[in-house]
């Protein structure tokens, strides 16, 4: 689990380093395209025999994956990685709390709200407003991904549904990638870097998470996912030299604590962002 989380967040940090060359739109297109190719090679999903209902579910799932990744990468273009992931994780936090009826969950909501308020410095922080909004949108799509992944997992065997949806998402992102990067999408070193990002952000963590879920209770898995903001802050510092103020570090720790507490008895599936 720790290796998978580190892989996701360092993959995001390396992806941000491509923004100057192909922009967030070009980066997310290449990342999703390569992820789709890797997943297709691994799962070899069959398309024959699928009903219209199956294809509708795949299309909605693919749209959700594309929107989640695009909004997250657009937020990374404006705010630090650790801050973006802290705001994004509010989506799965909401799913975890919504699936519980414990009074203690109100305390987790309050702690998370305190972290977000501290992160915004009560309206006085020097954070890009659109970047914050995009990170919250990404969190909303992450929540949708969690709910849809349950339906897709029941409808399709193995990772077939995810592989098909990732392919749909890549097609949907073609206009965004071309508009943002144009011919730079074909630069050899950019393609190589994007493939590495796709492997770091999809192939490695997805494989590790599958193995972890065979050995860990779902509640423990959910708790470990909550350290993603802290890992993102570390990746941003090491790869991108993104320093955080003490106030921002405390805010991240508050959201991590709230997410861990809410996820203790909740089943929060992994994401493929």
Q: How far apart are CA 260 and CA 273, in angstroms?
A: 20
Mean pLDDT within 220-242? 86
What is the structure's pLDDT at 219?
Answer: 63
- pLDDT at position 121, please? 60
Confidence at residue 270, expressed as pLDDT on a 0 to 100 scale: 58
Which residues make Cβ contacts (< 8 Å) with residue 245, sequence separation at least 6?
A: none
The percent of residues above 90 in pLDDT, for the chain, comes to 48
Please report the pLDDT score of residue 76 as a whole number: 95
Give the tokens for residue 178.
């071309």
| Model pLDDT, residue 80 | 92
| Segment 239-268, tens digit of pLDDT | 999 988 888 889 899 988 888 887 776 655
Q: What is the pLDDT of residue 102?
A: 73
Please tell me the predicted confidence (pLDDT) of residue 37: 93
Task: Read off φ and ψ for residue 152, nearest 5 degrees.
Answer: -65, -40
Residue 96 has pLDDT above 80, yes or no: no
Q: Given pLDDT bands bounded at 50, 70 and 90, which one contains residue 147?
A: confident
Instruction: State residue 109's pLDDT score.
Output: 82
Q: What confidence tier does 14 reach under pLDDT thresholds 50, 70, 90?
A: very high
* Helix spans in the chain (H): 2-16, 19-43, 52-76, 81-88, 90-98, 104-119, 129-155, 160-172, 174-181, 188-198, 204-215, 218-225, 228-240, 246-263
For helices 2-16 and 81-88, angle between their N-to-C axes, nearest 10 degrees: 120
Residues 6+ apart with CB under 8 A from 73: 15, 16, 24, 25, 27, 28
How high is the pLDDT of residue 268? Answer: 57
């Amino acid at each position: 689990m720790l290796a998978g989380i580190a892989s996701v967040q360092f993959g995001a940090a390396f992806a941000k380093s491509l923004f100057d060359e192909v922009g967030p739109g070009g980066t997310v297109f290449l990342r999703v395209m390569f992820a789709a190719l890797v997943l297709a090679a691994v799962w070899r999903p069959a398309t024959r025999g699928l009903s219209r209902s199956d294809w509708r579910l795949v299309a909605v799932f693919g749209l959700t994956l594309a929107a989640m990744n695009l909004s997250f990468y657009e937020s990374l273009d404006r705010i630090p990685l650790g801050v973006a992931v802290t705001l994004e994780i509010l989506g799965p936090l909401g799913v975890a709390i919504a699936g519980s009826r414990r009074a203690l969950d109100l305390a987790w909501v309050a702690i998370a709200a305190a972290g977000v308020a501290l992160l915004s410095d009560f309206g006085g922080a020097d954070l890009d407003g659109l970047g914050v909004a995009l990170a919250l949108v990404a969190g909303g799509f992450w929540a949708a991904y969690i709910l849809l992944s349950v339906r897709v997992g029941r409808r399709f065997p193995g990772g077939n549904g995810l592989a098909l949806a990732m392919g749909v998402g890549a097609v949907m992102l073609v206009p965004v990638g071309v508009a943002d990067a144009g011919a730079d999408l074909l630069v050899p070193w950019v393609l190589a870097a994007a493939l590495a990002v796709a492997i770091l952000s999809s192939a490695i963590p997805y494989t590790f998470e599958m193995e972890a879920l065979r050995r860990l209770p779902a509640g423990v898995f959910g708790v470990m996912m909550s350290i993603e903001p802290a890992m993102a802050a570390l990746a941003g510092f090491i790869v991108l030299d993104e320093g955080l103020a003490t106030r921002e570090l405390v805010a991240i720790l508050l959201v991590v604590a709230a997410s861990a507490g809410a996820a203790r008895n909740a089943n929060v599936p992994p994401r493929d962002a």
